[in-house]
Amino acid sequence: MMRNHSKRAVVHVLRQAIITHWRYHPLPIVRYYWSMAISDGEYLVTTARDLGAALKHFRTRAGVTQADAAGTMGIGQPYLSSLEAGKFGSSLTHALRLLRFVGCEVVVRPREPRG
């Protein structure tokens, strides 16, 4: 006869098994991503979603709300929200794919102060 375990206990055991599995140890993951590392405060853009995340990061870092940014740029707040979600359209997706194909990468970083 099998013991009745609560769903929470079973989920806990499964999570432990997954997390402690050899494939998920941090060292191999760190080694894999080390070659892709870029400076703090920069975003490596390989997809439209990455660019949207960079837009949102730098907007919030500057302390600007979506409504203020949209108003200043002359666009609607829902449109800005869709851009931050990575919905740019197929032309950006194709351009990013082409850049990867020819061995280039796009990095978004804060502009250096001029003066």
pLDDT in tens, 2-13: 445 555 655 554
Separation of alpha carbons 108 and 56, rounded Å = 12
Coil, strand, or helix at residue 41?
coil
Angle between the N-to-C axes of helices 77-84 and 66-73, in degrees from 0 to 180, rounded to the nearest 10: 110
Beta strands in the chain (DSSP E): 43-45, 106-108
Q: What percent of the chain has pLDDT over 90?
A: 25
> Which CATH number applies to 7-108?
1.10.260.40
Whole-model pTM?
A: 0.62
pLDDT in tens, 27-79: 554 554 444 456 667 888 888 998 998 899 889 989 999 999 999 999 999 99
